[in-house]
Structure 1
Amino acid sequence: MNASVSAEVAEQSLTESTVLSGSTTIKIALGVEYDGSHYYGWQRQNEVRSVQERLEKALSQVANEPISVFCAGRTDAGVHATGQVVHFETTAHRKDPAWTMGVNTHLPADIAVRWVKTVSDDFHARFSATARRYRYVIFNHRYRPAILSSGVTHFHYPLDAERMHQAAQCLLGENDFTSFRAVQCQSRTPWRNVMHVNVSRYGDYVVVDIKANAFVHHMVRNIVGSLLEIGCGNQDITWMAELLALKDRTKAAATAKANGLYLVSVDYPEHFELPKPAMGPLFLADNPIEISQS
């Protein structure tokens, strides 16, 4: 379906829908994908581009009323998502294509709605979530890439993905992640429960895949920064466990760049029956071989 046809279908869906002014408010969840390269993060801010601001503007145009959204995880500047989940409340009763194709016609090319579902009043994109999953994509080659350069982090020294994988296994379970927590983190506790962590190589690409109940600020990028030191041979495999035990951010490596990081999935209780599209990004399968903690 070409762009003009998509716009026509979306417009028709919008026309056939009705806005019931003063009617019962409904709650809607959306799956959202975005390239964060040109945004100052998810969260709405004054005088800078944010994903939230662009999405709310598009939704408000379709709903014909102001819309505010709540997300599962507020990604930082330059960070991407294939599996962000948001919810909003509205009195505008629209057919599903209006919230997908209709909203997408009002969004820039680097933001897209992937799915829509009406949810119960007790659903909250952030507080109902039971786990988040991130993937960090590294282009491991002597020379920088020209294609997909904004969606991967280039690391030119050879990496041993197996060493990185072995080192990361100490992160499984419930731990104090102070050593991998940004100084400005506002979370009340550094304790998080990591459910799985996997490091795999796909040709010239090395992917760090990590899932936890929640993450402290910069946790994934700080973990990746230290794993890179291990992968290139600057540190021993045991260094990761030592850092975890030290509970000192100054002892760990520098924060890895934002452009390789993707929020790929958010877990919710099954009774909400939310769609589960492929996580990606791009060529990555949903379930690579991984070591999990039950």
Structure 2
Amino acid sequence: MRIALGIEYDGTGFLGWQRLAHGATVQGALEQALSKVAAHPVEVTCAGRTDAGVHGVCQVVHFDTTAVRDARGWVLGACSNLPADVAVLWARPVPGDFHARFSARSRRYRYTVLNRPVRAALEARYVTWERQPLDAARMHEAAQALLGEHDFSAFRAAACQARHANRRVLAVAVRREGERVVVEIEANAFLHHMVRNIVGSLLPVGRGEQPVEWLAGLLAGRDRAVAGPTALPNGLAFVGPRYEAHWGLPPEVSQ
């Protein structure tokens, strides 16, 4: 039987999603918990890996099992064996051809910048602080150059292992919510550090240090060396993937 799960996590204390032999990861913690519930070793496949310090709003995974448990059993059993910074939100039986990664039509990320003179205390884990005033409207206008399919080499980490840099951005928006500036991006897939590198290049536009057209020029130039720095991980959250409705997953990941 194949089971899909929705996972929420605070990435601060983890070395990222992917299982490692030398440190705590979200995948490692989840597999250990599910193996106890299933009473056999469990390996999970996720919709999109996240880096150290990056959070998950609704990561989706799938795994195969011979254990018979209802949805409530998987959720409560896993949560009782997980650390406090990871929770299983829901569980659904899915067809054997469902794949958390390859069945996803798109993926969504959100980056939050606390834009005020004083640094964060309560929300320091979940926002990046920028003391200089940001013009969210200018950032939004600049970001529209990213829409469509492009070579995103200018926003690709040197360590990226993707076969090519072409990605299709379906939606991008920058808006102000009080003291916060929120960047949301949806794409068919993302390169390593792509969102953080885009945000790092939007911030100079928001501060007025670069013109609105700068981002389009960076995209066309395909040169990572001249783009902005990589934004810190703590402001980034993987909102989740989107799947076709016929898979029967909850509304937050279906369309």
Q: TM-score range by the shorter chain?
A: over 0.9
Query: 1:151 is paired with a residue of what secondary structure?
Result: coil
Check if 1:102 corresponds to 2:77. yes
The CA deviation string for residues 186-237 of structure 1, in whole angstroms up to 9 with x for no partner, is 1111000000000010000000000000001110000000000100111000
Q: CA deviation at 1:265?
A: 2.0
1:188 aligned to which of 160, 163, 167: 163
Q: Which amino acid letter does the alignment assign opposite residue 35 of structure 1?
A: D
Check if 1:67 corresponds to 2:4. no
Q: Which amino acid letter does the alignment assign opposite residue 154 of structure 1?
A: W
- Can you give the 5+ residue segments of structure 2 that lack an aligned partner in the other structure? none
How far apart, in 2, do the equivalents of 1:139 and 1:105 lie? 33
Q: Which amino acid letter does the alignment assign opposite residue 151 of structure 2?
A: D
TM-score (norm 2): 0.98
Check if 1:91 corresponds to 2:66. yes
2:123 aligned to which of 148, 164, 175: 148
Q: CA deviation at 1:97?
A: 1.1
How far apart, in 1, do the equivalents of 2:131 and 2:14 lie? 26
Q: Which runs of 4+ in 1 moved over 6 A?
A: none
The CA deviation string for residues 163-189 of structure 1, in whole angstroms up to 9 with x for no partner, is 000000000000110000001111111
Query: 2:251 is paired with a residue of what secondary structure?
Result: coil
How far apart, in 1, do the equivalents of 2:71 and 2:240 lie? 22
How far apart, in 2, do the equivalents of 1:264 and 1:186 lie? 22
Radius of gyration: which is bigger? 1
What residue is the counterpart of 1:115 in the other structure?
90
Q: CA deviation at 1:123?
A: 0.4
The CA deviation string for residues 55-82 of structure 1, in whole angstroms up to 9 with x for no partner, is 0010011111100000000100000011
Query: 2:199 is paired with a residue of what secondary structure?
Result: helix
Q: CA deviation at 1:101?
A: 1.3
How many aligned positions are there? 254
How far apart, in 2, do the equivalents of 1:111 and 1:148 lie? 18
Q: Which amino acid letter does the alignment assign opposite residue 128 of structure 1?
A: S
Query: 1:37 is paired with a residue of what secondary structure?
Result: helix
1:209 aligned to which of 175, 184, 198: 184
Matched-pair identity in %: 55
1:43 aligned to which of 5, 8, 18: 18
TM-score (norm 1): 0.85
Check if 1:55 corresponds to 2:37. no
RMSD: 1.1
- Can you give the 5+ residue segments of structure 1 that lack an aligned partner in the other structure? 1-25, 279-294
What residue is the counterpart of 2:7 in the other structure?
32
How far apart, in 1, do the equivalents of 2:131 and 2:251 lie? 35
Check if 1:220 corresponds to 2:195. yes
